Chains A and B, each alone.
Chain A
């Protein structure tokens, strides 16, 4: 009998087994995989990436070089913060100082973020003049995370200045502009980094109702930027148009936008949209369909939305209402200002005198006015569970999977799947950060 012989002599590897890097196996962990907490399975990584150990075992004939006992802790992807303005007294929009000094400051923040479970982030630059952008943006080009360099920089989030004067928040109105001359106005403002050849600009927040802005959205998307609408007085129709035009995110939902009105729900009303164009199944950068999606078999036509989950910027009830109207779009952000990570007391930050209280609230000294947020990512995740009564899995995904999906990097970040970057955390059951690993190496906290 002559059997038909397959010419394949070896299985295709997810991972070439010729790497000599150390193989690490994590045992006794409860892993966040496939939208569930799974026990009785293991996590393997080598050379900074998660690997599929089966081919390593049978073909490369390697066993783990190190076994780490997670002792029953939760093992989850590292948090991804897509909106953070600074921390530890450092402000990403601050352009005073030499490039070396600024680079060191950025590194200081990047390293300090690990303790809060954040392993990759988008340094956010608020509305500024061109000089600032030209100086600061080249320093925010994407660079990998490591124990020495800190959390991974995914690229900058440029929030403004193409935003609405009515919804300025803490931004300086003098810097604001409109796009009368279209993309030329954008290029003029941000400088050469806006061409995005280095992938420097990850996210841009704009107010789509401003003159000329809506028309520029397709070009911004073409340059591989995520367009987010915020600091905007858009009415519902304008907001929906912006989404239809390619915007895939809403910047800090509820803040710096029209309050929800039952006859014109504004940007917030996008969560209830039923007539947005339905993305094809291959479309990236859109959320998976929420239970309320008008089209369950395709990505959700509604965008992602960031939520500052400190309980101060948004009332817990509001967080809950928004969440359940569109669960798969929720992204937790800190929108932290430079006071984040500083001890309570008085601080002078960028010429502004602020007071940090024991609950991490930051006020302009002598007033009741919030200066900004000082919440950390791990606190956001804990609060989110408290405010919405969602499951641990849902809260964790809002801090990992969803931001990674928004940025189109869900195969590398926010995941424990094979091929992903080995950025992960050990959490106790109350979601407190116990151990942090970036690129497969443990960070000493």
Chain B
């Protein structure tokens, strides 16, 4: 996986928004071949959405041929409740951009048969051609979507009971009354996310530092479900300096040095967007290497 470290969360948001924009534009989606994007909610992606909206308003990114699948939604909360994830996505992204309403997919927490709703959601993802890029955040307990510690790494979209801690943490959005907080949620599974052709995770803030360390420096572990990205062929994490606080100095130095090699020695123009290296023309003469091609040689796979 790639780990991109930026100075602060603002830089992270700009990087990620730019990356998404480039991915979509290079994909050149059409009505027949749309770009399928997986999206998260929560505090991590708010800034990224803000930057995406700016890019859209500057005319650099259109969502006309983008199909979205959100990760999760509360059970039993009405769609226009101020805390529903429908409301979150509407206010943070959809109302600002040109995405057609039929292209938006969010789990329905009020479906008559929740299990069927989950099965249907997986079917919809398949019908759309699978997810091209799944954007995600990371919880302080290392969870991706609502796949809290102990979730199977092979899990699929399903109904989840929320952890007591999560309910407590969310009470502040429900008049401080834990009885008003939803206790169940529908969520995509770990495997659902990992099935995407690419996964991009945003991690900002010191409170996520331990989770980041557990997820990338230790083993793949169902207690820290984001660690599943270690087995994904194309994953990128973007974090700020604060989130690296629990990483080994060696780890941080390594990933920073990779970036340095890319930019200073190989040259950005030779790099593919997803880390592949295009025709290398090394800067100092080594004739034998001038004709070498390395498409998808994946220096950073």
Interface residues of A (CB under 8 A from B): 1, 3-14, 42, 52-55, 57-59, 61-63
Closest chain-B Cβ to A417's Cβ sits at a distance in Å of 15
B78 within 8 A of A: yes
Which of B96-104, B127-135, B259-267 makes up part of the contact surface? B96-104
Structural contact, B112 and A53, CB atoms closer than 8 A: no
User: What are 24 contact pairs spanning A and B, CB under 8 A?
Assistant: A1-B159, A3-B184, A4-B76, A5-B114, A6-B75, A6-B76, A8-B110, A9-B110, A9-B112, A11-B78, A13-B80, A53-B95, A54-B86, A57-B95, A57-B101, A58-B86, A58-B101, A58-B106, A59-B79, A61-B101, A61-B102, A62-B101, A63-B98, A63-B100
- On whether A5 and B112 interact (CB within 8 A), knowing A54-B95, A58-B86, the answer reads yes
Structural contact, A57 and B112, CB atoms closer than 8 A: no
Closest chain-B Cβ to A244's Cβ sits at a distance in Å of 38
- Chain B 176-198 against A: per-residue CB contact (8 Å), 1 yes, 0 no? 00000000100000000000000
Please list the 10 inter-chain residue pairs (A to B) with the smallest Cβ-Cβ separation, ordered nearest first.
A11-B79, A61-B101, A11-B78, A6-B76, A11-B80, A54-B90, A57-B101, A3-B159, A3-B184, A8-B110
Closest chain-B Cβ to A51's Cβ sits at a distance in Å of 12
Most A CB within 10 A of own CB, among B76, B80, B161: B80
How many interface residues does chain B have, given as a range? 20 to 34
Closest chain-B Cβ to A223's Cβ sits at a distance in Å of 39
CA distance A54 to B104 in the complex (A): 13
Query: Other CB < 8 Å A-B pairs besides A5-B113, A9-B111, 11 of them?
Result: A1-B159, A3-B75, A4-B76, A5-B114, A6-B110, A11-B81, A11-B110, A12-B80, A57-B95, A57-B101, A61-B101
CA distance A11 to B159 in the complex (A): 20
B230 within 8 A of A: no
Closest chain-A Cβ to B56's Cβ sits at a distance in Å of 11
Residue of B nearest to A55 (CB): B80
Contacts of B102 in A (CB 8 A): 61
Contacts of A59 in B (CB 8 A): 79
CA distance A14 to B80 in the complex (A): 10
Residue of B nearest to A42 (CB): B95
**Interface set, chain B 83-130, CB cutoff 8 A to A:** 86-87, 90, 94-96, 98, 100-102, 104, 106, 109-114
Residue of A nearest to B53 (CB): A40
Structural contact, A54 and B110, CB atoms closer than 8 A: no
Return the contact of A58 from the options B104, B112, B114, B184 (Cβ within 8 A): B104
Contacts of B81 in A (CB 8 A): 11
Contacts of A13 in B (CB 8 A): 80
The prevalent SS among residues of A at the interface is loop
CA distance A10 to B161 in the complex (A): 22
- Chain B 64-85 against A: per-residue CB contact (8 Å), 1 yes, 0 no? 0000000000011011110000
Structural contact, A52 and B80, CB atoms closer than 8 A: yes
Contacts of B79 in A (CB 8 A): 10-11, 54-55, 58-59
Closest chain-B Cβ to A324's Cβ sits at a distance in Å of 35
Return the contact of B90 from the options A1, A8, A58 (Cβ within 8 A): A58
Contacts of B161 in A (CB 8 A): 1
Contacts of A14 in B (CB 8 A): 80
CA distance A4 to B114 in the complex (A): 10
Contacts of B110 in A (CB 8 A): 6, 8-11
Closest chain-B Cβ to A337's Cβ sits at a distance in Å of 46
Residue of B nearest to A13 (CB): B80
CA distance A13 to B80 in the complex (A): 8
Closest chain-B Cβ to A23's Cβ sits at a distance in Å of 11
Contacts of A63 in B (CB 8 A): 98, 100-101
Contacts of B159 in A (CB 8 A): 1, 3
CA distance A58 to B79 in the complex (A): 9
Closest chain-B Cβ to A145's Cβ sits at a distance in Å of 28
CA distance A153 to B57 in the complex (A): 40
- On whether A3 and B114 interact (CB within 8 A), knowing A12-B78, A61-B102, the answer reads yes
Contacts of B112 in A (CB 8 A): 5, 7, 9
- On whether A57 and B94 interact (CB within 8 A), knowing A5-B112, A9-B110, the answer reads yes
Contacts of A9 in B (CB 8 A): 110-112
Contacts of A62 in B (CB 8 A): 101
CA distance A300 to B142 in the complex (A): 53
Residue of A nearest to B84 (CB): A11
CA distance A53 to B79 in the complex (A): 12
